[in-house]
Chain A
Amino acid sequence: MLSHEVKKRIESGIAEAECLVSEFSGGTDHYSVIVISNAFEGQPALKRHRMIMELFKEEVDTGEVHALAIKAYTQKQWADEKQKHQPL
């Protein structure tokens, strides 16, 4: 699976999501994603990860996607996260 396909899958599968994708094995089966969406509001991490993994059920089952590292934030959490890493 190609990284732009991963991005598209997530952004069309989760309401108003913005997705940043990086590939980390040198191939096309290990992806790390940051997903920002207010659809995660009030949802625990387990639920958020399930929402995202559900979109790749088939590819994970066949091994086409071996690994999907996930970080899921609401817009507010993402803004806080960026704030934390801002140089003073």
Chain B
Amino acid sequence: MNPTWKTKIENDVKNNDIMVYMRGTPEAPRCGFSARVVRALNELGRPFGSEDMDSDPELWSTLKEINNWPTSPQIFVKGEFVGGCDIFIEMFKSGELHEKLGIQK
């Protein structure tokens, strides 16, 4: 596990209500799953932090290890790892995400 990334991840997760580790950027996602998550977030209309998992293989391997989760994207809400695209979209649709963030669906 890369200690620099580990510290950066911990800080980013603490400082962003929603933190998304994705392939590409919100403006240019490089994978359909990352794109779906960004679309849902844009619809939600809340700021979120993001980091490109393709920017550094060390970032990807550090995240895989921290969360024991092998795929991208990986999403944190209020400091808690919630899972990947499917779980996140499910939470968005059901209103669980809104509830976690204290906003009206």
Contacts and interface: CB of A to CB of B under 8 A. Distances in A.
Interface of A: 45-46, 49-50, 53, 57, 60-61, 67-71
A49 B87 contact: yes
A46 B70 contact: no
B70 A69 contact: no
Contacts of B65: none
A69 B33 CA distance: 9
B70 A49 contact: no
Nearest to A72: B86
Contacts of A53: 69-71
Interface residues of B, number: 15
B70 A45 contact: no
B84 interface: yes
Nearest to B84: A49
Given A53-B71, A69-B85, 17 more contacts: A45-B86, A45-B90, A46-B81, A46-B83, A46-B87, A49-B83, A49-B84, A49-B87, A53-B70, A57-B70, A60-B70, A61-B70, A67-B33, A67-B71, A68-B71, A69-B86, A71-B86
